[in-house]
Amino acid sequence: MIVVEGLKKVYKSEKFEVTALDGVSFALPSNGLVFVVGKSGSGKSTLLNLLGGLDEATEGAIRFEGDEISEEERDPDIFRARCLGFIFQDFHLMEKLTVADNVSLALELNGKKDYDRVKKALRQVGLDGVEGRYPAELSGGQQQRVAIARAIVKEPKLILADEPTGNLDSVTSEQIIETLKDLSKDRLVVVVSHNLLSATRYADRIIELGDGRIVRDVTRVRGHEALVEGDTINLPSGELSDAQLDEINRAVSEGGKKLRRASEFVDTAKLETIDAENDMTADDGCAGEATNGNLSGAEATKSASDTDAEKDKKRVKRGLSAKRMIELGAKFTKRTSFVSTTVATAFVVALFAICVILYGFNGNGIYMQLDIARYGVFSLQKGYCPSEIEGNLLTDRQVRVTDEDIQEFEKAGYDGNVYKLYNMSIPVMVYSLDAGGLPSVDEVYRYFYTETAMGVLVADESYLKKLFGDFEVLAGDLYDKPYGVILTDYIADSIAFTQGTLEDERPYDNFVGKERVHERYYVNAVISTGYKKEFEPLAEKFKDAWKDGEVTERERDALTSSSEYADFLNAAQNKFNIAYSLNPDYVKSVAENPLESRMFARIMRAEIFDESGHKLADNFGGYVPLAERAGIEAHGDEAYMSLWLYNSLFGTQMTAEDMSAFEPKTLKLRDYDISDLALENVTYELTIRIKGVLDIDEAMIASRELIDKIHEYDVYAYALVFDSNGKMSDVLDVADRLGYRANAMEFSEVYNVLRVMRMYCDLFLTIGVVLLAVALLLMVAYGMKNVRGNAYEIGIIRALGAGQRDVAT
Ligand code: ADP
Ligand code: MG
């Protein structure tokens, strides 16, 4: 059954080279008990390990062949998995498994679970009723019996036993050997032993090793010598048959005979003929093959003709089921460390996942997408998010868009249109000067209508069509004056509402084509936007609330907290609440228009110094009305100051009744660009001569010259509108880099959320990195502990014929 040819095993280390086996050749039959004997270090274990496939030979071959071996089983791996049982000196039982599980494991590694066979194997080795016990609860002899049961449970064709009795007392040893002897009747049992005595007593064959070579190879023979040869009676050992007894008695009675112990062992080499006689045919074969029963004889032939695919199937079938792997694997794993490692790992992974998601989340992108989905365009505002800047002066401030910025977007691959939104003031009503007869800002603000437009977007008709479809010109002429603006019906209705003409037949006649609405702007035309239809239900609700002439705080809160209102605000910000111009030179035309007389200029934020250069205030800002519009004379660098500002700058306590403490002052006013948070670049410096004080809400009232000067810096584009033909992601990148933000109402809310998220993100990332490091260390330590801790079991499973997959469990 086994043919070994020129087997050589050299153990090599850096310093040593040990030749453990040095050209060993033999052939073993399919049954019988073979003892491999020899001194310690002679190579016995090495030989057995090579036969059992636990190690690889340096040279030579081991073949499994013969009628009783199927074609498939000639593959050493398959043979070992199916037809081999291994028994060790120190039992090598799995301490954490019960007796039954220990035995069952050998079966299960072959893809079978058969409790009856487990019981049968245990009964065969004389163990009954210990199935549920653990190895530690058994005697040494019992443990070795379990090991034998484990070896025989798959009914192997070959049992290899390395010093199976080495750890047992002599009586127990004998019992074990007898058990093996019994088993060897219908299979081959190879026992390594240094006990020559029991070898001589039980072995069918003895192979003796010395320094890695076979020094003796003998086979027990019975009856090859005649019982009586001339005057010699060859006395065999063991019980004699009646016939033998008769023959001996007859010879003795003849007299003159010598008695001689028959030589029981004969050189194997001389025994070719006897071999055949001695060699019984395997009756049952090993049942470990394939998945269903026995493959000897005809079935073996069938198996040999199996297709490769079928073989593969069988191979896959071999081994533990996943469920059983986990079940058994759990027994070898410290539950607490397993759970904690798993939990820690999951936690770290989750943290990283959260970080990745959070970092990947970009509010800008969301709003661009929303804008595009809603309006077909998206706008980016260059400015600071209110929450980003402390102090109220700079909240919600827009920053000047530069031509370089636009070039950056184009460089990044954006090839659509870019429209500029200018901060030209298009008030629906006037703030305080000249406000007679109009509703207060507060009342307008509480209502559905706007208080002031977002500015003037210099666009073209195609853009208006994109936003408003086939819009109607409700009044006026789109191209009336180069400095005129086009109002949406929404803005126009807001004005009409403040003027009380909203319900009139021609509500816009008061201001379309009339110079200087609110002294600020000229209206070319009003166009339809469909806003009323789109937000009709909301408009109705506001109208209802307005019925008593006022919208209360509570009513307003209820109305403005709806998502409907958020949609409305977004639409207003993106299209309704913007004035349009179709003249590319609109801004220039306004400046050059002799009739244009702005009522206000805006000081962004200015430092005020006295004549001697002493700073009086460093954060002044606000609207400065034009003196002539307020009916006041001021020319050149002349201005009037409010009582409250004068008092606060110079420490006086004047009242409207008594302004006698006033002294004319010459001040220097220094302003910075709104984007210049560090106050590094002065945009203008004005010398202002304070001519008098007035009891007004505004900080100052200034001459036209001063207003014009301030205006130069007051008017600029602060947002860009893209019509989405370009590469979105590239535009987004540039927007981020240049500090542009999606121009959407909820943006500051989202930005706050983003900030918190980023904060957590950084925190998570830090914790994650630390945890990951700890977890890695833990896992390495844990893994090493487990492998080291289970190395013993892994070795056993390997010896039981487990594949890599089974061992990994
Ligand atoms: P036996 O089982 O007969 O006592 P072994 O087969 O265990 O002998 O060992 C044969 C020789 O090979 C000895 O010299 C031993 O030291 C050496 N040997 C065995 N296993 C190894 C190994 N893993 N590495 C190096 N040398 C080994
Ligand atoms: Mg040994």
Q: Answer yes or no: is the C-beta of 193 below 6 A from any ligand 1 atom.
A: no
Q: Which of 347-351, 729-733, 768-772 has the lowest mean pLDDT?
A: 729-733
Position 360 scores a pLDDT of 62
Q: Which strands, in side-by-side order, build the sheet including 188-192?
A: 84-87, 158-162, 188-192, 32-38, 205-210, 213-220, 265-267
Residues 6+ apart with CB under 8 A from 55: 9, 46, 49
Q: 3-state SS of 115-153? A: HHHHHHHHHHCCCCCCCCCCHHHCCHHHHHHHHHHHHHC
Position 369 scores a pLDDT of 64
From ligand 2's centre to the CA of 39, what distance in Å?
A: 9
pTM over 0.85: no
Task: Tokens for 208, please give them.
Answer: 């003796």
In the beta sheet, which residues pair with residue 692? 640
Task: Tokens for 703, please give them.
Answer: 């001459």
Position 603 scores a pLDDT of 83
pLDDT tier at 703, thresholds 50, 70, 90? very high
C-alpha dist (Å) from residue 749 to 364, 633, 646, 756: 12, 46, 38, 11
Task: Please write the tens of the pLDDT for every residue from 628-681.
Answer: 878 899 999 999 999 989 999 999 999 999 999 999 999 999 988 776 767 788
Give residue for tokens 């945890």: 771
Task: Please write the tens of the pLDDT for every residue from 449-460.
Answer: 888 888 899 999
Task: Tokens for 396, please give them.
Answer: 């919600």
| Atom number in ligand 1 closest to CA 48 | 6
CA distance 85 to 60: 23
From ligand 1's centre to the CA of 354, what distance in Å?
A: 56
From ligand 2's centre to the CA of 282, what distance in Å?
A: 29
**Rg of the Cα atoms in the chain:** 51
In the structure, ligand 2 is a single-atom ion and the residues with CB under 5 Å from it are 45
From ligand 2's centre to the CA of 227, what distance in Å?
A: 39
Q: Which of 379-383, 409-413, 603-607 has the lowest mean pLDDT?
A: 379-383
Let me know the angle formed at the C-alpha of 48 by 50 and 318, rounded to the nearest 5 degrees: 65
Q: Answer yes or no: is the C-beta of 18 below 6 A from any ligand 1 atom.
A: yes
CA distance 181 to 34: 10
Task: Please write the tens of the pLDDT for every residue from 181-233.
Answer: 988 998 999 999 888 778 888 889 999 999 999 999 988 876 656 778 778 78
Burial of residue 561, with CB atoms counted within 10 A of its CB: 0-12 exposed, 13-18 middle, 19 or more buried: exposed
Position 291 scores a pLDDT of 35
From ligand 2's centre to the CA of 45, what distance in Å?
A: 4
Sequential DSSP letters for 19-43: EEEEEEEEEE-SSEEEEEEESTTSS
pLDDT at 302 over 50: no
Residues 6+ apart with CB under 8 A from 253: none
Q: Answer yes or no: is the C-beta of 748 below 6 A from any ligand 1 atom.
A: no
pLDDT at 358 over 70: no
Identify the nearest ligand to the CA of 51 by its number. Answer: 1
C-alpha dist (Å) from residue 468 to 463, 564, 574, 581, 725: 9, 20, 11, 15, 18
| Ranges 103-117, 196-210, 524-538, 560-574, most confident | 524-538
CA distance 257 to 249: 11
CA distance 675 to 804: 67
Position 691 scores a pLDDT of 95
Task: Tokens for 1, please give them.
Answer: 């059954």
Mean per-residue pLDDT, 753-761: 70
| Atom number in ligand 1 closest to CA 212 | 10
Mutating to test ligand 1, I would choose from 18, 160, 193 the residue with most ligand atoms within 8 A of its C-beta, which is 18
If one compares 105 and 388, the residue with the highest pLDDT of the two is: 105
| Atom number in ligand 1 closest to CA 13 | 25
Q: Answer yes or no: is the C-beta of 156 below 6 A from any ligand 1 atom.
A: no
Task: Please write the tens of the pLDDT for every residue from 382-440.
Answer: 865 444 434 333 345 578 888 999 999 888 888 888 999 998 878 887 554 444 444 45
In this structure, the number of other CB atoms found within 10 A of the CB of residue 272 comes to 8
Q: Are 60 and 7 in contact (CB under 8 A)?
A: yes
CA distance 375 to 360: 25
Position 464 scores a pLDDT of 94
Mean per-residue pLDDT, 335-358: 73
Question: Considering only CA atoms, which of 635, 593, 588, 603 is closest in space to residue 710?
Answer: 603
Mean per-residue pLDDT, 479-502: 91
Give residue for tokens 């010395």: 210
CA distance 581 to 372: 22
Q: What percent of the chain has pLDDT over 90?
A: 25
Q: Answer yes or no: is the C-beta of 43 below 6 A from any ligand 1 atom.
A: yes
Helices (H), 186-334: 196-202, 242-254, 272-278, 298-304, 308-317, 322-331
Element (H, E) at 341: helix 335-360
Position 390 scores a pLDDT of 40
Characterise 538 by phi-psi region: left (phi > 0), alpha (psi -120 to 50), beta (else). alpha
Mean per-residue pLDDT, 20-36: 93
Q: Answer yes or no: is the C-beta of 56 below 6 A from any ligand 1 atom.
A: no
Give residue for tokens 């026992």: 191
Position 744 scores a pLDDT of 55
